[in-house]
Structure 1
């Protein structure tokens, strides 16, 4: 097999890997976006059950739901970002090397990823998205815990639930900030 044929084959394998990564990335983006709706639905369900039952301590289910769904959101978001970095970094450089087009191959094959990374408004959008993500996953849980504190008697079980909820939500908030 000639060197040119071997490079063409490697380039085809690289493009197949790219297609596979983009398919996984699309799937993770859909899952991540659906987790926002699932969280809003879970919060509404917890609130509905709480009001219907007249038992404010049931709001402690909110931190559990928000933490589980929020962690899945963070994980998917992290993987989406890591895949983009992999494409822009190693994959784009390998494509340039294999094609012999240097930087031209990177622009030709991975232009979208490279453009998005160089966007001058990216930092401000990321800060705003961080605030929205914290409000979506940590806000309702924290509000529920404040309501439980204000509206219920502080039995040992309620206090344990509040402490567990606070630890879980604080841990989620740290992870959200860390992965952003």
Structure 2
């Protein structure tokens, strides 16, 4: 993935360089016409070099555009192959369909899990602060923490009896354990 990103950056830079060479080449061609008007004997030399820079710039720009197009095409093919082979990474795609269900409830906090459309819409786990209904912290499946939760309640919850097991029950319901 990092290789493809660097490749795309390089191709974009090639496009910019090619366009710059084309612009410079056009300026050189104009300069060549000015020199040839003076009879300086550069009628064939300067416009030929300028034309070479303009054409060469077009070749560099085209190589960048062509490479960028092939990288985009390759990425689309890989995504298509992954989806057709069934190897998607949608959270909850292997779980049952169900509305929001509470898997753990102690004091003012509870863990809810839902999987409304497996394989099409990611399932989710969140901690609800029942004392403040507006406070809802979504579980981040990568970091294995609840996004936006202040450190103090987080420490308190992870020490509470059954909290970690509540997360495991929610993961199992989504088919993610």
**Smaller-chain TM-score bracket:** 0.3 to 0.5
The structure showing larger relative contact order (alpha-carbon pairs under 8 Å, at least 6 residues apart) is 1
> If the length of structure 1 is used for normalisation, what is the TM-score?
0.39
> If the length of structure 2 is used for normalisation, what is the TM-score?
0.40
Q: Which has the higher helix share?
A: 1
Q: Which has the higher strand share?
A: 2
